[in-house]
Amino acid sequence: MNVIEYRLNELARISGVSTRNIRAYRERGLLDPPRRQGRSAFYNAYHVAQLDTINQLLRRGFSSAHIAEFFASMRAGADLADILGLQRSLFASEGGQDENPPTAHALDIDAGGDEAGQLVAYGLAEIVDGSVVFLDPSIAAIVGRAPDPMLYIRAILRIVGSTRRDVDTLAGVVADALQECIEARFGPDRTPDPLEMHRMVQDYRELANRLVARHLDEALHAQMAPFCGDERADEDRPAPHAVREGN
């Protein structure tokens, strides 16, 4: 059976990952090396699956070092079916169907309490074997290191409850802007190219996330400066050019 292969630019278009990030993932050991033929490099469906896994792990708070270790273990004997199966297992929770969330994220709070019920209702946690389990490991890590986790949980519920409607409204604005872009790019009577359409959707999602995150960070810096002093706030604030990897 012939294996479909892609050059770097084709892989970037199909996966939605920039060529710069693909090269960076290769250098850091996250992405398997391509097949070489002379000076040409060829990628296949396994690399597409790897890139999808890398991006999802980054979004869920895993570091590049952890992802590299993950793929090192996969290289010990896993094939494409294994990695695709692992993707379904790891990321089913994005659709609310994760049957086995990591027990390391369990919270020491009453699973029958109001706070636990609200966390579940917001899609932030699940009840597993009588314990409240966060679905996002980065949120779990922050709450887990808090002197009083319940205070952090109440803050989370207040933030989510106060912003859900505004976030939904903002998502609608972004979707409308994307619709206008699609109509301007393809016209009302043309069928959009699926790959280009996917790229545009990913671009608009990334633009919205980065623009909102930047504005929110600036506003938080201004609002929180009185609590820690301007100098310390400046130290804690990420550099404007620092961009997290991922699409």
Q: What is the residue extent of each domain of the chain?
A: 8-95
Q: What are the helix (H) ranges across the chain?
A: 8-15, 19-27, 45-59, 64-74, 80-91, 114-121, 137-144, 149-186, 194-228, 230-236
User: Are 7 and 41 in contact, with CB atoms under 8 Å apart?
Assistant: yes
Using alpha carbons, list the distances in angstroms from residue 228 to 81, 116, 217, 225. Answer: 50, 31, 15, 6
| pLDDT computed for residue 2 by the predictor | 57
pLDDT of residue 162: 93
With beta carbons less than 8 A apart as the criterion, state whether 71 and 46 touch: no
Q: What is the CATH number of domain 8-95?
A: 1.10.1660.10
Per-residue pLDDT of the chain (247 residues; tens, 9 = 90+): 456 788 999 998 888 888 888 888 888 888 888 998 888 899 988 888 888 888 877 777 677 777 777 777 666 654 444 554 555 555 554 444 444 434 445 677 888 889 988 988 888 888 877 888 887 777 888 888 888 889 999 999 999 999 988 988 998 898 888 888 888 888 877 766 777 777 788 788 888 888 888 898 889 888 888 886 554 444 445 444 444 444 4
pTM more than 0.85? no
Please tell me the predicted confidence (pLDDT) of residue 74.
63
Q: How far apart are CA 15 and CA 49, in angstroms?
A: 9
Q: What pLDDT, on the 0 to 100 scale, is given for residue 67?
A: 77
pLDDT at 244: 47
Q: SS3 of 2, please?
A: coil
Task: Say what the pLDDT of residue 90 is.
Answer: 52
